[in-house]
Amino acid sequence: MRAVTIRAFGDPSGMELVDLPAPTPGHDQVVIRTEAIGVGGVDAVIRRGTLGAGHPVGMVLGSEVAGVVTEVGAEVDPVHVGRRVWGFTGTSGGYAEQALARIDDVVPIPEGLSSVDAVSLGSAATVAHFALAHAHVRAGETVLVRGAAGSIGIAAVQIATRQGASSVSVTTSSADRGQRLRELGATHVLDRAGVGAPDAPTEFDVVIDVAGGADVPRFIDLLAPNGRLVLVGAVAGFPPPDFGMRLMRSFQQSRSVATFSLASVDPGERDAVRAAQFDAAARGELRTVVDTVLPLAQAAEAHRQMDDGRVFGRIVLVP
């Protein structure tokens, strides 16, 4: 089978299309013949070599796929063969014509939802749902989504709006992106520094931060008393080591900062939410946003577009 591996960590030129043996399922795994492969921010972080240990040269990138189950392991019911599913592959193995996933990390795709749309939604919308829950968002609160043009941010805007936030502000890099986010439910559009809209709130009950990086302290300063910032990504890098001093200097405001990973969620609860989101998308109640669909062989180009900040929504690869 064809797959995209890392020949050298760093810029996208280190990615390489190669031929590899087809995978064999372990006792609790299925083989998925991929129809769509999600390209996410975590893929870019791994490709750059930022995460280091556990990601060797020669690894296959990719964490989520959609397609048809073709083979199952010894402890998996054969009834799954032939089903169209979304699958989480871990932090590797997705950029390939065939991928492995544990049966516990597989969710059926309903009729009316394409494989491309499934991978634009599968991880991102579930992360957004539980990140907002982790922030204890309540109806009537003000929410800011930082880095809202990515798939997690787009889902967070829609979900926060549906949950009754009094306003959902976003940061983004252009007026065009801002308008598209307004169409998805955003009420105020700010620049990347969190300013630029005179009618926007000056402080927020909740900040969902997809970007991370050096500007995290700036967004801590935008929290209201008892405000909560939840970091769900680090596409801009890690916060500065002393970012906690922003909390100490505003001690009487009782602000808080938390991290969130989907790995901390009960698998049954996680999959129930993901299945419900797939159903909502199939009914048109939750919008999927696909920026570009590219052939698997152009995975490096997908990463170049991500690095350039040109993506709105999710890039999807197809074999």
Q: What is the phi/psi pair of residue 155, to 5°?
A: -65, -40
pLDDT of 154 > 90? The answer is yes
Place of tokens 């300013």: 195
217-268 pLDDT, tens digit per residue, is: 999 999 999 999 999 988 888 899 999 999 999 999 999 999 999 999 999 9
Residue 101 has pLDDT above 90, yes or no: yes
pTM for the whole structure: 0.93
Domain 124-262: give its CATH superfamily.
Answer: NAD(P)-binding Rossmann-like Domain (3.40.50.720)
Q: What is the pLDDT of residue 49?
A: 87
Question: How confident is the model at residue 53, as a pLDDT?
Answer: 67
pLDDT over threshold 70, residue 52: no
What is the predicted pLDDT for the residue at 226? Answer: 98
- Distance between CA 180 and CA 87 in Å, rounded? 29
Residue 127, number of CB atoms within 10 A of its CB:
24
d(CA 286, CA 110): 14
pLDDT band at 171 (very low <50, low <70, confident <90, very high): very high
Residues 6 or more apart in contact with residue 24 via CB below 8 angstroms: 31, 71
Share of the chain above pLDDT 70, in %: 99
Q: What is the pLDDT of residue 151?
A: 94
d(CA 174, CA 149): 10
- Give the start-to-end residue ranges of the domains of the chain: 2-108+289-318, 124-262
Mean local confidence (pLDDT), 96-101? 98
Name which of 24-28, 245-249, 259-263, 306-310 the model is least confident about.
306-310
Residue 175 pLDDT grade (very low, low, confident, very high; cuts 50, 70, 90): confident
Give pLDDT, residue 41: 87
Contacts of 210 (CB under 8 A, 6+ apart): 41, 145, 146, 147, 148, 150, 152, 153, 156, 232, 233, 235
Considering the segment(s) 2-108+289-318 as one domain, its CATH architecture is Alpha-Beta Complex (3.90)
CB atoms within 10 A of CB 112: 12
154, HSE (Cβ side, Cα atoms, 13 Å):
25
CB atoms within 10 A of CB 33: 17
